[in-house]
Amino acid sequence: MATTLTKTAEDATQVRHAARVEHVSKSFPAPGSPGGRQLVLDDITLDVAPGEFVTLLGASGCGKSTLLNLVAGLDRPTTGHITTDGRPALMFQEHALFPWLTAGKNIELALKLRGTPKPERRDRADQLLELVRLQDAHGKRVHELSGGMRQRVALARALAQDSRLLLMDEPFAALDAITRDVLHDELTRIWHDTELSVLFVTHNVREAVRLAQRVVLLSSRPGRINRQWQVDIPQPRRIEDTTVAELSVEITEELRGEIRRHGQH
């Protein structure tokens, strides 16, 4: 069902990557310590293969979102190198839609920024709304959409960037359990249909196992790769499936142990 991964440097050089993180560390100025630095990520090496779905897990403050921002190019590592296959698309927990625009116009704006000619934007926006099963929502404003619908529009807007790598920072954390489960199904379908590579940050172990081909657990600060699991459970999966639950328990125990170790320092 799951195996711990080990990969040699020689193996890594033989694989084409959607994203490659090589010996990346990140530090920030330490509060209350003039000139001091706080190490948040320490010597992270991580590859995401084309078409692979990888989830990042870890305790709060372990650097998951920091790592995602580095891969997105929103910040630069203190040391190490990051390469991606083109510019990644990024989706946050908050939908960040412009409330004065309709759902369709939010997507068209992303297409405009990407350089899509104006005559093509409406049709492409409609195609993306259909992909996320909101084909009748083009003219609806943000306040007319439910939380789940807003996240679907945000996903369509991210897909409008035509990136081969989608970065997702806890995009479903604020949703109720039923809506989240429905969007898990939708994301799995879209990932399968588009063959995107996905790097997905979550603190929810079952969500990580429900979605991913590979689960990566970061240690508590400074964040280091603690362990990885290849998830061999066939899709489609349900969050309540026995095999999902069993692997979730194993990963949760590892996460609890890491939190306990961190608390003793």
Question: Alpha-carbon distance 232 to 206, whole Å?
Answer: 15
Largest CA distance in the chain: 61
The H or E element containing residue 119 is helix 118-131
Mean pLDDT of 174-203: 93
Q: pLDDT of 72-93, one tens digit each?
A: 999 999 999 999 999 999 998 8
Q: pLDDT of 151-164, one tens digit each?
A: 999 999 999 998 99
For residue 236, cis peptide bond before it (omega within 30 degrees of 0): yes
Q: Which two tokens stand for residue 208?
A: 């990580």
Q: pLDDT value at position 41?
A: 96
Parallel, antiparallel, or unpaired: how do β-strands 165-169 and 89-91 relate? parallel
Domain ranges of the chain: 2-88+164-263, 95-162
Decide if domain 2-88+164-263 falls under CATH 3.40.50.300: yes
Query: What average pLDDT is seen over the chain?
Result: 89
pLDDT band at 61 (very low <50, low <70, confident <90, very high): confident
Q: At what angle do helices 103-114 and 118-131 cross, to 10 degrees?
A: 120
pLDDT band at 16 (very low <50, low <70, confident <90, very high): confident
Question: Alpha-carbon distance 235 to 193, whole Å?
Answer: 13
pTM of structure: 0.89
Q: pLDDT value at position 263?
A: 62
**CA-based nearest residue to 265, from 204, 206, 222:** 222
Q: Let me know the angle formed at the C-alpha of 153 by 152 and 155, rounded to the nearest 5 degrees.
A: 65
**CA-based nearest residue to 95, from 153, 138, 140, 178:** 153
